Amino acid sequence: MRPTLSWTSAEEPPPGTTDLEPVVEALRGGGVLVLSGAGISTESGIPDYRGEGGSLSRHTPMTYQDFTADAAARRRYWARSHLGWRTFGRARPNAGHRAVAAFERRGLLSGVITQNVDGLHQAAGSEGAVDLHGRLDRVICLSCGDLSARRELARRLEEANEGFAPVAAAMNPDGDADLTDEQVGDFTVVPCVVCGGVLKPDVVFFGEAVPPERVERCRALVRGADALLVLGSSLTVMSGLRFVRQAADAGTPVLIVNRDATRGDRHAVTRVALPLGPALTAAAGRLGVPLPDGATA
């Protein structure tokens, strides 16, 4: 299964707006479920997949099938991911993440589902956010299932690859860096310390299924929501789009904040085409919701 790189609408998508009022009113009413995508983390220095200059315009992400079947593919992945982690692991929440956490503290949200693997919602203070595609700061063994911290793997990879410091062309949303085969060289991949098995980041690769129990948890959140607010997702892949369709089919209002058209626009009552950080900060100001630094937008 190859990644879904793009989608083409069969009909003219509804135009975006700069009017935040529908979003503000939905939040004011409470019971809003947030579904976030890569666009909410771009202001933290993590690029997205499909936006302007998105990483899919220059590379194809690793698939689960390639990773599990090919040792050379795993060497390439871990070399790129190890280098990328040095930057990715230092990313910090931006105004969008902080606003979502502030809405949650005020009791305006029923939950948060994120398609991102960066953990920035939790770092901003969101509690109970569902990491739909897993977390890059955890590592799992494909043989014994042992879970370990990414920082420990980073230490082991540093020791096994002393002096590995190529200059990457760019970093990607899944935390790896663009490297040539020559730069990867004979990078050494380390095994699981428990059983010697193959290690994989605890994230859902392209071509891999989201665990069914996680999907059902998200479906339950959608069923209990009064509104679904999509933040920074193109909704190109079904893993997020299915929740938009579920909400729309149930008559639950869907609101989207994303600068570009999305695959879910026809299911939404509005799409606000504004940058997320400023838009959510402005929404917080209209609602009188204090931001994490104690100020009000």
- Fill in the DSSP letter of residue 16: P
Tell me whether residue 133 is one of the annotated catalytic residues. yes
With contact defined as beta carbons under 8 Å apart, do 261 and 51 qualify?
Answer: no
Residue list for the binding site for Zn(2+): 141, 144, 192, 195
Positive or negative torsion for Cα 217, 222, 226, 229: positive
Question: In this structure, how many other beta carbons lie within 10 angstroms of the beta carbon of residue 275?
Answer: 17
DSSP 147-160: EEEHHHHHHHHHHH
Task: Record the tokens describing residue 96, joined without a space.
Answer: 């969008």
- Fill in the DSSP letter of residue 75: H
Residue list for the binding site for NAD(+): 37-57, 115-118, 232-234, 276
Residue list for the binding site: 37-57, 115-118, 141, 144, 192, 195, 232-234, 276
Strand partners, 139: 148, 201
With contact defined as beta carbons under 8 Å apart, do 203 and 67 qualify?
Answer: no
- Give the position of tokens 């504004």: 274
Of 185, 210, 194, the residue nearest 78 (C-alpha): 185
Using CA atoms, how far apart are residues 140 and 149, in angstroms rounded to an integer? 9
Question: Which residue among the candidates 82, 97, 121, 133 is catalytic per the annotation?
Answer: 133
What residues are annotated to the active site? 133
